Homo-oligomer: A and B are copies of this chain.
């Protein structure tokens, strides 16, 4: 594979990988919050540790959506080193959502694995 093809392939795949990441974003954010009270910049750090790059402009609107859906709630809390923070926690509904999304995730996993194993002749 020459250098150009390699370059193109990388670009195409970046796109597809981004799509994959998007798909699991909401689920992952709920998972992070389920670990206990957190606020936006901390969520970003934890996602980065889990190897999922997300940026502010994505996270804030998403947190608002989760709030409006009643899956999370927040309380303002003073900080010792800056402006007050919104600490998010899961609601009962949010916990239920995580359970179901975990099942969904496992289901997709199964679908893909069934497709992968059928293709080992590549």
Contacts and interface: CB of A to CB of B under 8 A. Distances in A.
A111 B27 contact: no
A59 interface: no
B109 A50 contact: no
A83 B117 CA distance: 32
A25 B16 CA distance: 9
- State the number of copies, please: 2
Interface of A is mostly: helix
A40 interface: no
Interface string A60-88: 00000000011100000000000000000
Contacts of A23: 19-24
A24 B119 contact: no
B9 A93 contact: yes
18 contacts: A5-B70, A5-B93, A8-B69, A9-B97, A13-B100, A19-B25, A20-B27, A20-B108, A23-B23, A23-B24, A28-B112, A31-B112, A31-B115, A35-B121, A50-B111, A51-B110, A52-B111, A98-B119
